Amino acid sequence: MKYEVVMGLEVHVELSTQSKLFCSCSAKFGADPNENVCPACSGMPGMPAVINKRAVELGIAAALVTNSEISAVMTFDKKNYFYPDLPTGYQITQFFAPICQNGWVDIETEAGSKRITLKQIHIEEDAGKLVHDPRTRSTLVDYNRTSVPLVEIVSNPDFRTADEVTAYLDKLRSLLSFAGISDCKMQEGSMRCDVNISVREMGSDILGTRTEIKNMNSIKAIARAIEFESQRHINALETKAEKLVQETRRWDDDNGMSFSMREKEEAADYRYFPNPELMPVFIDEAWIDHVRKTLPEPAHVRFERMTMQLQLPEYDSRIITSSLNLCRIFDAVLGHVSKPKEVVNWIMGDLLSISKTAGVSDDEIDIDCEKFAAVIALVDDKIVNRAVGKKLLLKVYEQGIDPKAYVEENGLAMVSDTRLLEAAVQAVIAENEKSVQEYRGGSQKVFGFLVGQVMKKTAGKADPQSVNELLKKMLS
């Protein structure tokens, strides 16, 4: 018997706002526990909620990049439950009138392309974080994350394979981070994904018993969880040893298993009701247009422009368009050095290797693009050689040096004086009799060694091409 896995995703994404959804506390990740907390977001009385307009605009942006229908009027509602990470005892979310509905995202997998449809996206506030302290055997609460704005992107049950889920998450991450809506970092919790999964016999149109898996903190973990959970469902259907129940399960990536979280299921009635503390938000065409204008050129449009108009390789274009920051660097450098292929080579070959060594992500690379362009120009104009250029770029990245001045101060300009070069070549020939004989005997391998020796003699400042030519001439 063949089975079909049916999945729907709930993806929570923290919005890249400066402040929280209903107060002016910083929404940044990584502060000391309870540093970003005020009377309002710690639930004290007397603090009316006031909507962060920027969060609504990022919500509109999320609607636009997912082709969703934006509501003319959206409201906020209250969801009631007691938990220590929720200081007010209710979460402000959108239940009755979310910001948008009926969007879609196209994905590519090895099986081809597919359109994933979205039920809705709603804006809500995040909860705090419980930290279990094994030393005192107590539980502590960190309210930094409380009330940080989120969007929850709810898909329809359109997924059939883990590949599709992975492709969708990659696509969402690209769409959202590219538009500056969220930094989408799973390891920091700014992107989280719950998977609703059920299994049915192939050809059946009745959905099987559904379980929801939570607590996966990487896309790989999600793929593993889907693999495990679907197999668990299939085993249950085949052997009838285990009865499937509709429940929420926690994924334990270390043990590669999902576990029931039944305790939390008990309080199933959230008593949703419209939040009387917040006015409905009216979203008109003018506002949507305003947000649309602030959005960067979509990644796929830019990709097309890079490959078609600029004639750049697809591979390179894909890397650049994977990060808005790389796109910005590319544009800025290209403004000074109008050789697209050259600029892409420098970014891919040099800048990215520097940033990888430094452990900096593509989105966080911070470099003075004018100086970056100056390095390329120095190499291009044959003032320094490529190897020196590479070192200059590192200095620009690390210390922000002015490449031109640095070259002058440190005498890094290429040795272009032919007499000096000839002297160096002659000296190398004289000092390496054995290698010279080998070369004359037909060995090409030693030629490279001899070039290296000349470069060494000139402190790396010679133009390798001139050295090549000169050496060949003088050895023949």
d(CA 54, CA 124): 13
For residue 6, the minimal CB distance to other proteins (Å) is: 26
Considering only 268-276, 309-317, 343-351, 363-371, which stretch makes contact with other proteins by CB under 8 A?
Answer: 268-276
Report how many residues bind other proteins under the rule CB under 8 A. 31
For residue 34, the minimal CB distance to other proteins (Å) is: 10
d(CA 76, CA 62): 17
d(CA 397, CA 79): 48
CA-to-CA dists, residue 9 to 67, 164, 253, 312, angstroms: 17, 11, 19, 35
Nearer to other proteins, 144 or 177 (CB): 144
Within 8 A by CB and 6+ apart from 70, the residues are 60, 63, 64, 99, 100, 283, 288
427 forms part of the interface with other proteins (CB under 8 A): no
For residue 25, the minimal CB distance to other proteins (Å) is: 14
276 forms part of the interface with other proteins (CB under 8 A): yes
For residue 328, the minimal CB distance to other proteins (Å) is: 34
136 forms part of the interface with other proteins (CB under 8 A): no
Burial of 193 (0-12, 13-18, 19+ CB in 10 A): buried
For residue 381, the minimal CB distance to other proteins (Å) is: 57
273 forms part of the interface with other proteins (CB under 8 A): yes
* CB distance 389 to 407 below 8 Å: no
Q: Dmax over Cα atoms in the chain, in whole Å? A: 92
Question: Could you give the string, one character per residue 31-70, with x where binding to other proteins holds by CB under 8 A and - elsewhere?
Answer: --------x--xxxxxxxxxx-------------------
282 forms part of the interface with other proteins (CB under 8 A): no
Please give the single-letter amino acid code of residue 316.
D
Among 11, 71, 78, 178, binds other proteins (CB under 8 A): 78
Considering only 190-198, 205-213, 219-227, 274-282, which stretch makes contact with other proteins by CB under 8 A?
Answer: 274-282
For residue 75, the minimal CB distance to other proteins (Å) is: 12
CA-to-CA dists, residue 312 to 309, 340, 348, 432, angstroms: 8, 8, 12, 44
Question: Could you give the string, one character per residue 81-120, with x where binding to other proteins holds by CB under 8 A and - elsewhere?
Answer: -x-x--xxxx------------------------------
Nearer to other proteins, 53 or 356 (CB): 53
Nearer to other proteins, 127 or 393 (CB): 127
Nearer to other proteins, 31 or 51 (CB): 51
131 forms part of the interface with other proteins (CB under 8 A): no
Among 244, 278, 310, 334, binds other proteins (CB under 8 A): 278
4 CB-side CA count, 13 A = 14
277 forms part of the interface with other proteins (CB under 8 A): yes
308 forms part of the interface with other proteins (CB under 8 A): no
* CB distance 76 to 92 below 8 Å: yes
Nearer to other proteins, 3 or 83 (CB): 83
For residue 69, the minimal CB distance to other proteins (Å) is: 25
Nearest CA to 104 among 166, 175, 193?
175
Residues that bind other proteins (CB under 8 A): 22, 39, 42-51, 78, 80, 82, 84, 87-90, 141, 269, 271-279
